[in-house]
Structure 1
Amino acid sequence: MGKLHSKISLHTAKYRADGSREGTGPAGQLGPVHTDGVTSVAALEPDLCVSGGGDKSVAVCSWRSGAVLRRFLGHEREVTKVTCAPDSNRVFSASRDKTVMMWELHGTPGPRQRFPGHNLVVTGLAVSPDVSQLCTGSRDNTVCKWDIETGECLGRAAISRNLVTHLCWVPGEPYVIQTSEDKTIRVWDSRELRVAHTFPAKRHIQTCCDVSQDGRFCLSSSSGSGGEGGQATLWDLRQTRNQVCEYKGHFQTMTSCVFLPQGPAFTPSVATASCDGTVKVWDRDTGACLATSCPPGSGPLASLAACAGSTLLCASLNSGIHVLRVSDRADLALEEVAAF
């Protein structure tokens, strides 16, 4: 991604710890990246992010300054999911317009490739580690596999009532994890596009999933209201494939869950975001809540992305993208350092 930064350069400001900016005039934060709610955010190494929103656009920003480096337009309806692959200049977006598009950071503003074929809103998006294949999922009960270069659909699998909510690829493996409104977490073998494993059904709709970098664990999150549900579950992918731990404490639907990079001073931890407007960091192994943040004016939170430097990006349906930092102190804290 060093080449990426050398090709995309702007005079960007730096945020002070209090959220103000240096070198761009009056103190204050940059204007919002999107003109509507931000529905999805993903990290681009080392300090860029990609986001999509209700304004139908896909934006690439510096999360250190909030400056927009590229903006892609082409979707006809709200962008629902964005993703990318490490060390790649390609960004992928899914939309309520039933399509997926691929964009090149160094290319033209238009899409490099289109992936039409779903009959309803596309709600799941995962790219293979070698950036050769794409898996998509939809509320039309199907999961599809695509050749990224040609745009050809390589396979389609349909399961009754499998309203897909999220997809993520297992690092270094041909497997894709999928959550669904039927309260089930499935492991797909992308080679034959078949279900290789199904975890025991949960009590609530499963809204999101993530996989640890070592490929050993999977996280899933659930819907909820009034303190019922709204929890995350840790699953073992390598041995028993059983439930390992649960994280309870949100009062409404948990919309996003991510593994945090393990620094030398941190115990293994995970982070979650909820419609109750809070972000929580949890001890991965014990389920203890280590820190909570309620970004000002955020309202319902939609998506999380873990970045370098113990940084979390949090997409809000009301107030853009919040930059949160996990501080390395005796008592771990989650502090907002910027918003854009």
Structure 2
Amino acid sequence: MGKLQSKFRRRSDLYRAGRDGTEGVSGSQVAQYEPAHSGAINCVSSLNTELCVSGGSDQVVVVYDWKEGKLCQSFQGHSREVTKVACFPGSTWIFSGSRDKSVLMWDLGHGQEPIQEFCGHELVVNGVAVSPDGSKLCTGSRDNSMSLWDIETGECLQRNTISRNLVTHVCWVPGSPSIVQTSEDKTIRVWDSRSWQVTNTFPAKQYIQTHCDINSNCNHLLSSSNGFGGQGCEATLWDLRQPGCKVVEYRGHLQTTACCVFLPPIPGRAAMVASSSHDSSVKIWDQNTGACVHTLNLDGSGPLVSLAPCDSGRLLCASFNTGLHLLQLGTASSLDMKEVARF
């Protein structure tokens, strides 16, 4: 590709979202909007404080206004299901990885065609992350490789293949040349984007590491674990300043913990993290003590595979069976969680 170049009808009148996305909620009623996807949703991310981006088995990338309950844009360009989406903060850029082995770049303000394409992986792309300055893209795949791309030209600048490094997720550390990735070989690796070499490898966990997240001050890393019957299934907090130093584990899910994220800080509230699991539950944890503060069971939703904070009080959750869920968090003094909308 070279260098860069309708409102839905709501299905329920039980709820009418105000500008804060919460007005009109009565009791346990949940707003039901037109579904964002026609099948399972694999990933969700926040584009800004009003819009979210998701990808699923229907091969479509969707931009949805979660405050107004309406679809803004859908992008169709992948030939197989979308596995990961990533956004560049402060822009309208969206990146989507797929089982078709490619990553496509979209711009919300420039039509429905991709504005850039990144091809070269030999298997499904499971990791997509943008550099802090918006010039580079990092991708990781089940083909055991990590690749670095020039966003403007689409050129592959670096590639490094490590035996058994089946990449599951990638995070670019904010304001840093470092990239963190999780793998099916149960390890976490830290890469230097300048040399494209691994600078640190964390001690292997018992099970596959499914996801990772970096907190806003870049001091801590979260990873989540595969598992079954309550074995494994945990999220782990690591100290990035002392690579390999495990701070605390969050245990309580009964099946694979598919995603873990830091929640935005709120004055007067202890630091919190959230996790979602194949056991259909979302849990909120005290970051420092590892205590589970609240559990929300979304029965019938199937595996809950992805989370994205959309502001300090709300969290988006992607499910296999029941679409996207908008969850509202309680106050700093009484932290709970409830579902307020589904789409």
1:135 matched to 2:138? The reply is yes
Q: Is the 8 A contact 1:265 1:328 kept in 2?
A: no
Secondary structure in structure 2 of the residue aligned to 1:192: coil
Q: Which amino acid aligns with 1:150?
A: T
1:223 aligns with 2:223: no
* Aligned counterpart, 2:13: none
Match of 2:302 among 293, 299, 302: 299
Is 1:38 matched with 2:41? Answer: yes
After TM superposition, give the deviation of residue 246 of structure 1 in Å: 0.4
Counterpart mapping for 1:146-225 below 5 A: 146-225=149-228
- Matched with 1:4 is none
Cα offsets for 1:205-253 (capped at 9, x unmatched): 0000000011100000000101111001101012464001100000000
Does 2:241 match 1:233?
no
Deviation at 1:17, TM superposition (A): 2.0
* Shift in CA distance, 154/32, structure 1 to aligned 2, threshold 3 Å: same
Aligned length: 328
CA distance in 1, matches of 2:205, 2:56: 29
Contact 2:50/2:65 (8 A) holds in 1: yes
Greater displacement, 297-306 / 281-290:
297-306
Equivalent residue letter for 1:198: T
Equivalent-residue separation in structure 1 for 2:334 and 2:167 (angstroms)? 38
Tell me which residue corresponds to 2:287: 284
Distance 1:292 1:196, change over 3 A: same
Aligned counterpart, 1:313: 316
Distance 1:44 1:72, change over 3 A: same
Quote the Cα distance in structure 2 between the aligned partners of 1:283 and 1:72. 37
2:255 to 248, 252, 261: 252
Residue 329 of structure 1, CA deviation = 5.7
Unpaired runs of at least 5, structure 2: 1-5, 11-15
Structure 1: which 5+ runs fail to align? Answer: 1-7, 22-26
Amino acid at match of 2:82: V
Counterpart amino acid of 1:302? V
In 2, Cα distance between the equivalents of 1:239 and 1:207? 22
Deviations 1:100-151 (A, max 9, x none): 0000010020100000000000011111111111000000000000000000
Moved more, 77-86 or 59-68: 59-68
> 1:17 corresponds to which residue?
25
In structure 2, how many angstroms separate the alpha carbons of the residues matched to 1:314 and 1:138?
23
Percent of pairs with identical residues: 54
Match of 2:107 among 104, 107, 112: 104
In the TM superposition, what is the alpha-carbon distance from 1:20 to its structure 2 partner? 10
Contact kept in structure 1, 2:201 and 2:244, CA below 8 Å = no
Partner of 1:79: 82
Residues 73, 293 of structure 1: alpha-carbon distance in 2 compared, 3 angstrom cutoff: same
Report how far residue 170 of structure 1 moved.
0.5
Which of residues 55, 59, 69 is equivalent to 1:56? 59
TM-score (norm. length: structure 2): 0.92
Question: Is the partner of 2:163 in helix, strand or coil?
Answer: coil
**CA gap 1:60/1:20 in 2 versus in 1, 3 angstroms:** farther
Q: Which residue is equivalent to 1:5? A: none
The structural deviation recorded for 1:297 is 2.6
The amino acid that maps onto 1:113 is Q
Return the alpha-carbon distance in structure 1 between the equivalents of residues 49 and 292 of structure 2.
28
Deviation at 1:299, TM superposition (A): 1.3
SS of equivalent to 1:165: strand
CA contact (8 A) 2:203 2:244 kept: no
